[in-house]
Structure 1
């Protein structure tokens, strides 16, 4: 009976295929058809080290595709795949030292497995990596919210076996998470082989993800820089000078305030675009955004409040108050802060995108210097004119008749 039972058991095992493990996959909706899959063998998952398996697939009309470990390209190993020939692919293991083209890293123990190549217009890379269980920080990739990055670049095939091949910048990239506890099991030397019995979990809809078009990101960067620079460098100082150039009781309510409100709205719009850029770059807490929060918050919230209070009090007392002094000097300080932050922004942007022309920050600096000279010159001209009138002891009635408002230039300026 025991022999018969053993034969029946062996026959059952032979007829029913065992599921050796699970593969987890992710397909970004905007990734031009690219897909990524990962498997962690049981022994590797329990030991915290050992081989892991990854698969990258994409249409062959992509110039290259990439998978990276961690939430940023600088956090872990990068696996970049491109065509070696009409039917083969090249795996280039790289690391990123910043927002520059990643460099080849020979210390990554990764190899291509059977099934890799280009077949029927699909580029496939089945990868085994023996030292990829940890990020550069030492943190394990295992967990229910393991973070990864992806990127693709569309264009003509590279047809290169050079692992240090120059690569043009990605035109789509993103961040996603995987529950790697669902990707464990099995001991196959190639989980992606056709004869391997693995189940696949599609994690695309559950992944915490962010997908970014680099073309749109570039346009947002330009829009942010133009709007905020125009507001802080040109509009705020020039609109403030209307008080000195057109001293009138109508200047504040009909010229100065509406124009400055327009400038504040433009700064706020530029700020909103900048926040979107910071979210894309995961830099919401950087020094450039932080200064922007203060500068834009000041011109949008504090300045209108101080200006309105001073205007109301001036209409009652005909005297300047500390609200007016605060409004005047805070406005100058915020305009200077925003202008300086624009220069910081150029430095910040060049660190993220080295392709920015060197002439751009130089032109910005020249415009800032010219605007500063104009601002100081107009104020000096107004004060000199007021002093000259005072020395000549022009009667009050004469001074009043020289303005449309009945206020001298000095008094009109004191209104704010």
Structure 2
């Protein structure tokens, strides 16, 4: 059998796909230019169509509950009433304590920005938390201490031009970058999360953790810049999904904070119980590019943080693993094996059966992640179609096999099995790339997998063409009546006992599959010739 080096490369690339954060260049930018007992993280992308917000936070020991109160100062720059911005604890949406900010700064400047505190147990729309003590236990509470809109000036002349963009996950187009001179506003919000470290100790074990003792505390953020609330700015308003491109367009992202440097001391940082004015002063947003990250980083800041990153969000990673192995390794390998000679048929169906199991497992994980929701992205719909097509393709393959045992030639079922399989593999390649886009991987990841798929497609097509050429040459050299190659031109045939008997007679009749189920025409031509010359005999 010929060597298949491309699949070793596929395996290595698949492994690097899941370990890329460890191998790639770090984007860590932890600044220690201040002695303030707070940590700060900012995104400044208003004029480039990306998220624009800052969050600073500090903690205070809570003697009553033996935990810590955590205070968040969040500012969000806006220029219209569309969309929302959210900060959450942990690395997964499921189980995160989320603070979602939205509202109308243009026509509602006399009103406060809406602050909706939410969470969700699975991978679905976050729900408003009505009773904090019931969710996280006695002593846990979240309160909005201050919330207001402030005018922030206008978009500079060097800023956006009001252009439009189209993304693969969007169904509409409209301006996402404000034009130069557009008025901008800031939602200024101060939150108190009392006994915040109790969040993870509430009923159940599905919540993410937050600790003032963690030197690499993970947080997530997300935003949507195009949802039209139609004036319905209630705390439990339906919120639409954020953008899917995390790393490229700022639809969502992560940061890690050294919480140990943010713990306040009553004796030195304030007198008595901290007031709202005290907290706003302590948590004031430091200006300038050098202060975008104070005690924070866009990569984990400790070994435990890296371990947490690699083990977090296991369901999407499990889904990606099953589908990547199935469509980048196993299915293409099965196509090559049916044309490899020797026991080609056995090799083919064993590998394809394993690939089908991986696909069904990956689809099962994907369906579990969506919960009871109807698929909402092209990636999900295409994945569902591929899974159903593969179920049909397996049935057609089994039916083809049973028919071939009896008539020793292809039927429409055979062609259906062949072409449905080809289409499913091609669609699977496309969907793997869509999955990368959906999960927010970088352009390097997407282009790397895309180039690999292109090379793999060329190799598979060349292998099929080469097998067809060899078969044509072998047919020109002639075959005996039993269908064996006379020239031994490396053409391998799989022999399978029909009834499990001996080597001859009715109970030991054998059938032949050529090196490819595409290349059975030799057997068909042979049978057709016998029919025309009456060679089949009346006793047949």
Distance of 2:131 and 2:481 partners within structure 1? 85
Helix, strand or coil at the partner of 1:128: strand
- The answer (yes or no) to whether the contact 1:400–1:408 under 8 Å persists in 2 is no
Tell me the residue number matched to 1:241: none
Aligned with residue 260 of structure 2, among 170, 175, 181: 181
Matching residue of 1:413:
513
In 1, the alpha carbon distance for the partners of 2:319 and 2:354 equals 14
In 1, Cα distance between the equivalents of 2:151 and 2:361? 52
- 1:52 corresponds to: 70
Residues of 2 paired with 1:300 and 1:367: CA distance? 14
Contact 2:337 2:348 in 1 (8 A): no
Query: Residue 400 of structure 2: SS of its match in structure 1?
Result: helix
Q: 1:192 to 1:340 in 2, by over 3 A?
A: same
SS at match of 1:68: strand
TM-score with structure 1 length normalisation? 0.58
Aligned to 1:391: none
Q: 1:166 pairs with 238, 245, 264, which one?
A: 238
The answer for the alignment partner of 1:72 in structure 2 is: 92
User: Residue 283 in 1 paired to residue 314 in 2?
Assistant: yes
Match of 1:190 in 2: 276
Structure 1 residue ranges without an equivalent (≥5): 1-18, 211-277, 312-319, 388-395
Contact 1:22 1:184 (C-alpha < 8 Å) held by counterparts: yes
Which one has a bigger Cα radius of gyration? 1
**Which stretch of the first structure deviates more once superposed, 164-173 or 338-347?**
338-347
Where does residue 383 of structure 1 map in the other structure?
405
In 2 relative to 1, CA 207–352 (structure 1 residues): closer, same or farther, beyond 3 Å? farther
Contact 1:148–1:177 (8 Å) recurs in 2: yes
**How far apart, in 2, do the equivalents of 1:405 and 1:21 lie?**
81
Q: Please state how far the C-alpha of 1:27 moved relative to its aligned partner.
A: 1.2
1:26 equivalent to 2:41? Answer: yes
Higher helix share: 1
Match of 2:148 in 1: 116
Q: Which residue of structure 1 aligns with residue 530 of structure 2? A: none
CA distance in 1, matches of 2:117, 2:349: 55
Distance 1:381 1:400 in 2: 18
Tell me: CA distance 1:409–1:71, structure 2 relative to 1, closer, same or farther (3 Å).
Answer: closer
Distance 1:359 1:294 in 2: 20
| Whole-angstrom distance in 2 between the partners of 1:410 and 1:75 | 53
Deviations 1:292-319 (A, max 9, x none): 46645863897699779x64xxxxxxxx
**By how many angstroms is 1:50 displaced?**
4.7
Q: Deviations over 1:332-388 (max 9, x none)?
A: 42343245346425524533974448986775565335423432343334332349x
Distance 1:21 1:136, change over 3 A: same
How far apart are the structure 2 equivalents of 1:208 and 1:133? Answer: 21
- Number of equivalences: 312
Partners of 2:197 and 2:390 in 1: how far apart? 50
Written as runs of structure 1 = structure 2, the 5 A alignment for 1:8-407 is: 21-28=36-43, 32-41=51-60, 43-44=61-62, 48-61=66-79, 63-83=83-103, 85-87=108-110, 88-108=112-132, 109-114=141-146, 116-120=148-152, 121-137=185-201, 139-142=209-212, 143-155=214-226, 158=229, 162-171=234-243, 172-185=251-264, 186-187=269-270, 188-190=274-276, 202=291, 204=293, 207-209=296-298, 282-283=313-314, 287-292=318-323, 295=326, 299=330, 311=341, 320=342, 324=344, 327-341=347-361, 343-344=363-364, 346-348=366-368, 350-351=370-371, 354-356=374-376, 363-364=385-386, 367-386=389-408, 397-398=480-481
The CA RMSD over aligned residues, in Å, is: 4.7
TM-score, normalised to structure 2, is 0.47
Task: Assess if the C-alpha contact under 8 Å between 2:200 and 2:210 holds in 1.
Answer: no
| Structure 2, gaps ≥5 residues long | 1-33, 133-140, 153-184, 203-208, 244-250, 300-308, 410-478, 496-511, 517-540
Tell me if the contact between 1:116 and 1:126 (Cα under 8 Å) persists in the aligned partners: no
